């Protein structure tokens, strides 16, 4: 679940684009440009090598879309589309689909939540050109029998998925899944591995830890924050929160240095505390907020705003990824690509895409 309201222009490099494109129906795979992607909400991104994958959504439709760029975001190919039942029964509102990516060796997994219907996991073995439905029969739990996939985490051969109904584990490359939810309260927004333990952050129900590969869980934090993402650098664990439950602008970044036993604010310099995503790449932390992206190079002790001195400074960033050379932002109005060399103080990216391997 992501919370955001923002309107802004799309910048790429030093050029300003204005325009939109009417999205074609499923089954067509045209080439799109950056300015055309402006008409879509980008709620998930990932990068592998020089390839960027973006998960797009347009309100008031019943489809989600996957786009692929092999030229650092200059042009995009719509490679697949997915039907979603995203209208809330009896209410005049739209339920946003959830998206999650996992780069796992040569494969890319995409988790797509279908609003009020069960979501599914899709696999690409050709660097995002084609996608295959894994055909998963999720356990039918909850009133709406929904399985929105919010995050992934790989630990050796095990893949964990954080979903609307908790944590699920696959030991056979996502072919089958089993629930790993004992004493865990859902929904789970982020899951990450630290040492030999797993950690899961929830939407309003605290942070949980498991020392037995998800068989059982213990609550480590009882504060009712709406957590959106969980990641780690070494033994330091970081949780991003959108807000304290029902109290706007009270979120931020939390850090634990003692395996989740205690947590403290670690967001000095963060001027917007409504986080939508938090990732790590190498020694750097990136926080996507409702008014842009912030970067920390010192384990969250201080944060620097990724200012462009333009209208983009007020944008809502819904998803983040890091390639070998660029920071990729998914926003309410398209994809932004920033060369890492232009981000002041950012350390070299020695472990690109670490956020997909460690969790999200």
Q: Which residue has the tokens 């932390």?
A: 285
User: What is the C-alpha to C-alpha distance for residues 275 and 12, in angstroms, rounded to an integer?
Assistant: 23
0.85 exceeded by pTM: no
CA 133 from chain centre, in angstroms, equals 20
Contacts of 350-353 with CB under 8 Å at 24 or more apart are 350/282, 350/283, 351/281, 351/282, 352/47, 352/281, 352/282, 352/322, 352/323, 352/324, 353/46, 353/47, 353/48, 353/103, 353/281, 353/321, 353/322, 353/323
Q: What is the pLDDT of residue 84?
A: 72
User: Which of the 8 DSSP states describes residue 342?
Assistant: G
What domains, with CATH codes, occur in the chain?
10-358 (2.130.10.10)
CA max distance for the chain = 52
DSSP 135: -
pLDDT tens for the chain, 360 residues long, are: 444 432 222 222 322 222 234 444 444 456 787 778 888 889 999 999 889 999 998 767 777 899 999 988 889 999 998 777 665 555 555 667 789 999 999 999 999 876 555 578 899 999 999 998 876 666 655 444 557 889 999 999 999 999 888 899 999 998 888 889 899 988 899 999 998 899 999 988 899 999 999 999 999 976 778 899 999 999 999 999 987 656 666 789 999 999 998 999 999 999 888 899 999 988 999 999 998 899 999 999 999 988 665 555 678 999 999 988 888 999 888 888 888 887 756 765 444 344 343 456
Beta strands 252-256 and 236-244 are: antiparallel
Distance CA 167, CA 177 (A): 10
Q: Residue 302 half-sphere exposure, CB side, CA atoms within 13 Å? A: 3
Predicted confidence (pLDDT) per residue in 246-277, tens digit: 666 678 999 999 999 899 999 999 988 889 99
| 338 touches 327 (CB < 8 A) | yes
| Rounded Cα distance, 355 and 211, in Å | 21
pLDDT of residue 10: 27
Give the three-class secondary structure for 59. coil
Distance CA 156, CA 158 (A): 6
3-state helix, strand, coil in the chain (%, to 5): 5, 50, 45
Dig out the tokens for 149 from the structure.
């996939």
CB distance 316 to 24 below 8 Å:
no
The runs of H, that is alpha helices, within the chain are: 34-37, 354-358
**Whether the Cβ atoms of residue 119 and residue 110 lie closer than 8 Å to each other:** no
Torsion sign, CA atoms 342, 348, 353, 356 = negative
In 129-196, DSSP assigns E strands to 132-133, 149-155, 158-163, 166-170, 178-179, 188-194
């Amino acid at each position: 679940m992501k919370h955001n309201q923002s309107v802004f222009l799309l910048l790429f490099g030093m050029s300003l684009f204005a325009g939109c494109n009417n999205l074609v129906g499923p089954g067509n795979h045209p080439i799109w440009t950056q300015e055309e992607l402006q008409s879509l909400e980008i709620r998930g991104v990932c990068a592998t090598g020089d390839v960027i994958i973006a998960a797009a959504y347009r309100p008031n439709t019943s489809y989600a879309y996957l786009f692929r760029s092999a030229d650092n975001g200059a042009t995009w190919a719509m490679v697949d589309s997915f039907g979603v039942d995203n209208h809330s029964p009896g209410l005049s509102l739209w339920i946003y689909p959830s998206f999650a990516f996992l780069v796992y060796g040569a494969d890319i997994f995409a988790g797509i939540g279908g609003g009020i219907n069960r979501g599914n996991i899709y696999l690409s073995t050709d660097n995002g050109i084609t996608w295959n439905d894994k055909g998963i029969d999720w356990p039918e739990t909850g009133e709406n029998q929904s399985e929105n996939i919010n995050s992934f985490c790989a630990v050796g051969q095990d893949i964990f998925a954080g979903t609307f109904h908790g944590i699920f584990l696959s030991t056979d490359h996502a072919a089958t899944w089993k629930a790993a939810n004992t004493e865990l309260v859902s929904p789970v927004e982020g899951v990450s591995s630290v040492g030999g333990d797993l950690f899961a952050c929830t939407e309003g129900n605290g942070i949980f830890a498991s020392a037995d590969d998800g068989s059982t869980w213990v609550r480590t934090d009882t504060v009712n924050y709406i957590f959106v993402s969980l990641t780690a650098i070494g033994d330091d664990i970081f949780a991003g929160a959108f807000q304290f439950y029902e109290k706007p602008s009270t979120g931020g970044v939390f850090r634990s240095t003692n395996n989740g036993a205690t947590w403290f604010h670690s967001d000095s310099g963060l001027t917007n505390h409504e986080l939508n995503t938090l990732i790590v790449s190498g020694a750097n932390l990136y926080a996507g907020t409702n008014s842009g992206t912030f970067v920390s190079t010192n384990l969250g002790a201080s944060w620097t705003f990724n200012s462009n001195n333009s209208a983009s400074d007020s944008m809502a960033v819904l998803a983040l990824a890091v390639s070998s050379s660029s920071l990729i932002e998914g926003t309410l109005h398209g994809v932004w690509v920033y060369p890492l060399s232009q981000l002041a103080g950012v350390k070299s990216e020695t472990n690109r895409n670490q956020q997909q391997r460690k969790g999200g």
